[in-house]
Amino acid sequence: MRSVGEHLNLCLLAADPLPGLAVPLEDAVDCVLARDIVSDSFLPDTNRAGIDGYAIASATVGAPPYTLPVTAEILAGDTTWTQLVSATAIRIASGAPIPPGADTLVPLEASDMGLSEVEIRQSYPQGSFVIPQGIDVSPDAVLLDAGQRLDAKKIALLAALGLSHVWVHPRVRVVVIAVGDELVEPGVSREPGQINDANGHSLAAACQECDAKTFRVLVGDDRGKLRETIEDQLVRADVILTTGGLSYGTADTVKDVLTSLGEMRFDNVAIAPGRQLGVGKIGEVPVYCLPGNPVAAQVAFETFIRPVLRKMAGRSVLYRTSVPATMTQGWTSPAGRREFVPIALTGNPGHYRGEVLGRHPQARLAALARSNAFAVVPEDVTQVEPETMLHCMVLQ
């Protein structure tokens, strides 16, 4: 039987960060930079006004109050402007380029706001309210390092630099295939023995929470149909994720089909809930096989698949945060298996407490929906006593 750590290592080895791709800025949000961002220009590109006011040459004026003729007006969107003549003023809008010859701005409120001439009522040091060229960014400066996630603040910088595209590790495309003749789409009339497909929806949602792009497919146990479905999905998949069809019954066809398509291995893993898991590749596409039990599928996703997707997306932090917490009650844990138990985690750092949710290890889907963490029981612990401290994987 494989340990949890051994299986996680196999899962990570099967996947590499996606190659860099130049994408439009609107598609780059939350993606990870694949290349450094190096400036090739100044920001701002010229001296600009930091206020609405009047541009003057400080050396050509006396002590206030004084009056100057206003020779022009420059707005933020103007592309041409006149040179400032000695002992005159140019009315200027915030953000507009400073005209040649000017070195200081006087705020509107320090004047009578005249249009043809202006009375200046207060003195200001040379350079006041001028935003110098390149004060924010100069050429050849490394502004963002590869590996950083692009958020709104970084997108603002890229757009200000005039970049319409940026090199990133693109969103991982995940095809989630739920396998089983018993599965139907939620909302569809069910026959006796059929169940709603919870896993296809929940795993697709979990992938989307990792910023992946998902495609969801529901297919029965027929070997030919399953093989055809997988082959069809390879063209749009960076990863294929299956759920169900891993037991030893005659209708459990996932292992047979995938083994015939690529290099796959299936192992019993020392994890609870769940047991048998698959990992491998079809061509260059990593394939991961998860159990059909909804809680076991979510535990397997958080433990093995989420780190894989973050690695493929170029993220530097692969794993959920883990915190120690004291359990409010005890329970019996399976021997030789690492158990993941849905809990409600409350308290503060150093004083966290965990309340077990759900009353049956194989029927905790409602408990999972209310949980915000998994309490992790080591393989060598079979009895968790009340007030036992366990490491907990934080899910929110």
Contacts by 343-349 with C-beta closer than 8 Å and gap 24+?
343/371, 343/372, 343/373, 343/374, 343/375, 343/392, 344/370, 344/371, 344/372, 344/373, 345/372, 345/373, 345/392, 345/394, 349/323
How far is CA 70 from its chain centroid?
52
Q: Is the pLDDT of residue 213 over 70?
A: yes
Does residue 348 share a domain with residue 237? no
Q: Which of 283, 311, 339 lies at the terminal end of a domain, its last residue? A: 311
Total number of domains in the chain: 4
Is residue 267 located within the same domain as residue 250? Answer: yes
φ, ψ of residue 310 in degrees (nearest 5): -70, -35
In a domain, 23, yes or no: no
Residue 24 lies in a domain: no
Residues 326 and 284 in one domain: no
Domain check: are 81 and 142 in the same one?
A: no
Is 22 within the bounds of a domain?
Answer: no
What pTM, to 2 d.p., does this model score? 0.85
% of the chain exceeding 90 in pLDDT: 91
Distances in Å between the alpha carbon of 15 and those of 229, 305, 343? 22, 10, 31
Same domain, 99 and 188: no
For residues 246 and 200, membership in a common domain is answered with yes
Give me the domain span that covers residue 153. Answer: 30-41+136-167
Using the structure block, give the residue that is written with the tokens 């915000």.
Answer: 372
- 181 and 261, same structural domain? yes
CATH number of the domain encompassing residue 284: 3.40.980.10
- State residue 191's pLDDT score: 86
Asked if residue 302 and residue 325 are part of one domain, the reply reads: no
Give the pLDDT confidence score for residue 193 in this predicted structure. Answer: 86
| Residue 11, pLDDT score | 98
pLDDT beyond 70 at 250: no
The reported pLDDT for the residue numbered 81 is 75
For residue 24, the model assigns a pLDDT of 97
- Tell me what pLDDT residue 165 has: 97
Q: How many CB atoms lie within 10 A of CB 188?
A: 9
- Is 122 among the domain residues? yes
CATH of the domain at 144: 3.90.105.10
Note the pLDDT tens digit of each residue in 288-314.
999 999 999 999 999 999 999 999 999
CATH code for position 75 = 2.170.190.11
Q: Residue 364's pLDDT band (boundaries 50, 70, 90)? A: confident
- Out of 110, 144, 167, pick the residue that ends a domain: 167
Residues 94 and 218 in one domain: no
CATH number at residue 324: 2.40.340.10
Residue 124 lies in a domain: yes
Confirm whether 141 is domain-assigned.
yes
Boundary (domain end) residue, out of 76, 111, 129: 129
Same domain, 53 and 111: yes
Q: Are 273 and 355 in a shared domain?
A: no
Average pLDDT, the chain: 94
Rounded to whole angstroms, how far apart are CA atoms 242 and 263?
Answer: 15
- Distant-in-sequence, close-in-space partners of 243: CB < 8 Å, separation ≥ 6: 176, 177, 178, 179, 199, 200, 203, 289, 290, 291, 292, 297
- Over the stretch 58-106, which tens digit does the pLDDT of each residue have? 999 989 999 999 999 999 888 777 899 999 999 999 999 999 999 999 9
25 is a domain residue: no
Q: Are residues 279 and 328 in the same domain?
A: no
Distance CA 182, CA 194 (A): 4
